[in-house]
Amino acid sequence: MTNPPVTVTTLRDMKRKVEKFACLTAYDAAFARLIDEAGVEVILVGDSLGMVIQGRGTTVPVTMDDMVYHSQCVARGCGRALLMVDMPFMSYAILEQALRNAARLMQEGGAHIVKLEGGAEQAGIVRQLAERGVPVCAHLGLQPQSVHKLGGYRVQGRDAAAAQRMCDDALALAAAGADLLLLECVPAPLAARITQSVDVPVIGIGAGPACDGQVLVLHDMLGITSGKRPKFSRDFMQDNPTPQAAIAAYAHAVKSGAFPGPEHTFS
Ligand code: KIV
């Protein structure tokens, strides 16, 4: 018997049962198929494609057409996994635009859930999307689309005021109807506090082991990212002979709690 498709309800049930789930980025059908076959629950078509596929310096230049094209490719290789797709920079700045662009990602791209960056200020848009049947993941902590405003990529929520703001943002987004939260580059104790305080599943990247799920950028975990690999990532090709084996080892390490270790975590 084949496993049923993963839905936001599946992930909510897994959180309730304290079962960890895995997520990986993909940008094409071939890797999507390998990731899906490895039992990874969520495939993210990340706007990180700006860097890892297009060779750009940030995610800012990525367009809606780019996201739709790569979603279509990934959807063709995706069988059971939940397909999450990033809304790119400025594609959800105003409500009408957010609704139209989320519809494009679902209707043309095949997305099951869209992801957008921001805190409580996005709660209105999240609510409007949720009320129209669009599942949403809200991306908190380091928000790469704001890199020029932030002045660089660094850990977020380090001081007490910023940590409290992030907790409040998480609660506001969950109350607005977000189905998933994603925390990027957040100290592990703060990520644990947020994960415990909301019913919705929380995916972490550089956010410690307490999150309900983990995500990595595919090219980082295959060791083919140019330049320095982020501290929170791990090159699974170091101990595995093929990409298939590396992806399976990643899924296993996440589900067993072996990844992330203390060396991948910010305190
Ligand atoms: O674009 C992306 O790949 C992401 C991950 C870093 C979570 O948002």
Tell me the per-residue pLDDT of 227-246, one tens digit each, with 9 for 90 and over: 888 999 999 999 999 999 99
Indicate whether residue 217 lines ligand 1 (CB < 6 A). yes
Return the pLDDT at 244. Answer: 98
Say what the pLDDT of residue 227 is: 82
Cα 250 to Cα 63, 167, 191, 237, distances in angstroms: 30, 29, 21, 10
Give the per-residue pLDDT at 189.
98
Protein residue whose Cα sits closest to atom 3 of ligand 1: 46
pLDDT digits (tens, 9 = 90+) for 250-267: 999 999 999 999 999 999
pLDDT < 50 stretches in the chain: none
Q: Number of helices (H) and strands (E) in the chain: give both, helices first.
A: 11, 8
What is the value of pTM for the model shown? 0.98
117 catalytically annotated:
no
**Strand pairing report for 42-45 and 136-141:** unpaired
Of 215, 216, 229, 254, the one to substitute when testing ligand 1's pocket (max ligand atoms within 8 A of C-beta) is 215
CA distance 3 to 20: 17
pLDDT value at residue 1: 54
Report d(CA 32, CA 24) in Å as an integer: 9
